[in-house]
Structure 1
Amino acid sequence: MKKHHRLMGVCIGACMALATLAAAHAAGQEKLKIGFMAELSGPQAALGQDMYDGFMLYLDRNGGKLGGRQVSVVKADSQLKPEVGVQLVESLTGRDDVPIIVGVTFSNVMLAVHPRITQKKVFLIGTNAGPSQLAGKACSPYFFSTSWQNDQQAEVVGHYAASRGYKRVITMVPNYQSGFDFVTGFKRYYKAPLLDEIYTPLSQQDFSAELTRIAASKPDAVFVFYPGGLGVNFLRQYQQAGLLGRIPVLSASTTDAINLPAQRESALGVITGTAWGPDLDNEANRAFVAGFEKKYGRIPSHYAAQSYDGAQLLDSALKKTGGRVEDKSAFMAALRQADFPSVRGAFKFGNNNFPVQDMHVFEVVKDARGRVTLKTIATPLKDHRDAYHAECPME
Structure 2
Amino acid sequence: MTGTKTMRHKATAALGAMAFAAAALFAGNAQAQVKIGFIGTLSGPGGALGQDQYDAFMLAVEQKGGKLGGVPVQIIKEDDQLKPDVGVQAAQKLVERDKVSLITGVTFSNVMMAIHKPVTSAGVVMVGSNAGPTPIAGAQCSPNFFSTSWDNDELHEAGGQLSTDLGYKKMYVMAPNYQAGRDAVNGFKRDYRGQIVDEVYTQVNQPDYSAEIAQLQAAKPDAVYVFYPGGMGVNFVKQYRQAGLLGKIPLISVSTIDGSTLPALKELAVGAITSAPYSPDLDNAENKQFVTAFQKKYNRLPSMYAAQSYDAANLIDSALTKTKGNVTDKEALRAALKRADFKSVRGAFKFGSNQFPIAQFYRVDVVKDTAGAAFATKGMIVIKQRNDLAAQCKMKS
Whether the aligned pair in 1 keeps the contact of 2:168 and 2:194 (CA below 8 Å) is: no
Q: Which residue of the partner structure matches residue 47 of structure 2?
A: 45
Match of 1:151 in 2: 153
**Equivalence for 2:395:** 394
| Pairing partner for 1:243 from 241, 245, 248 | 245
- Aligned to 1:274, which of 259, 263, 276? 276
- The answer on whether the counterparts of 2:52 and 2:302 sit within 8 Å (CA) in structure 1 is yes
TM-score normalised per structure 2: 0.91
Deviations 1:17-73 (A, max 9, x none): xxxxxxxx9978432110000011122111111100000000000000001100000
Point out the structure with max Rg over C-alpha: 2
Q: Trace 1:31-42 onto structure 2 (pairs within 5 A).
A: 31-42=33-44
- Alignment match of 2:381 (pick from 374, 379, 382): 379
Specify the alignment match of 1:289 in structure 2: 291
Residues 368 and 348 from structure 1, CA distance in 2 versus in 1: closer, same or farther, beyond 3 angstroms? farther
Among candidates 144, 163, 166, match of residue 164 of structure 1: 166
SS at structure 1 position matched to 2:97: coil
SS at match of 1:348: coil
State, as a whole percentage, how many aligned pairs show the same letter.
54
Letter in 2 for 1:389: A
What is the CA-CA distance between 1:159 and the residue it aligns to? 0.9
Following superposition of structure 1 onto structure 2, how do residues 115-130 of structure 1 map, counting pairs within 5 Å?
Answer: 115-130=117-132
Q: 1:273 to 1:27 in 2, by over 3 A?
A: farther
Structure 1 distance, partners of 2:352, 2:188, is 21
Q: Which runs of 5+ in 1 are unaligned?
A: 1-24
Tell me the equivalent position of 1:314: 316
Deviations 1:91-113 (A, max 9, x none): 10011000100000000000000
Q: Distance in 2 between matches of 1:227 and 1:26?
A: 44
Partner deviation per Cα, 1:256-298 (whole Å, 9 max, x = no partner): 0111111112211111112111010000000100000011111
Which is worse superposed, 293-302 or 360-369?
A: 360-369
- Which stretches of structure 1, 4 residues or longer, exceed 2 Å deviation after superposition? 25-30, 366-371
RMSD: 1.4
Given residue 228 of structure 1, which amino acid in structure 2 is its aligned partner? G
- For 2:208 and 2:232, the matched residues in 1 are separated by 9
2:294 & 2:274 partners in 1: Cα distance?
A: 22
Between the aligned partners of 1:288 and 1:367, the Cα distance in structure 2 is: 21
The residue aligned with 1:224 is 226
Q: Which runs of structure 2 are paired with 1:1-395 in the superposition (5 Å)?
A: 29-385=31-387, 387-394=388-395
Alpha-carbon distance between aligned partners in 2 of 1:60 and 1:356, rounded to the nearest angstrom: 28
The farther-off stretch of 203-212 and 156-165 is 156-165
The count of corresponding residues between Structure 1 and Structure 2 is 370
Q: Distance in 1 between matches of 2:207 and 2:216?
A: 17
Q: Distance in 1 between matches of 2:379 and 2:110?
A: 32
The one-letter code sitting in structure 1 at the alignment partner of 2:392 is E
TM-score with structure 1 setting the length = 0.91
What displacement does 1:192 show? 2.4
SS state at 2:172 partner = strand
Instruction: Measure how far apart 1:237 and its partner are.
Output: 0.5
Q: Do the aligned partners of 1:359 and 1:382 also contact (CA within 8 Å) in 2?
A: yes
Contact 2:246 2:272 in 1 (8 A): no
Matched residue SS, 1:346: coil
Change (3 A) 1:28 1:113: closer
Give the letter for the 1:98 counterpart.
Answer: V
CA distance in 1, matches of 2:30, 2:134: 41
CA contact (8 A) 1:31 1:69 kept: yes
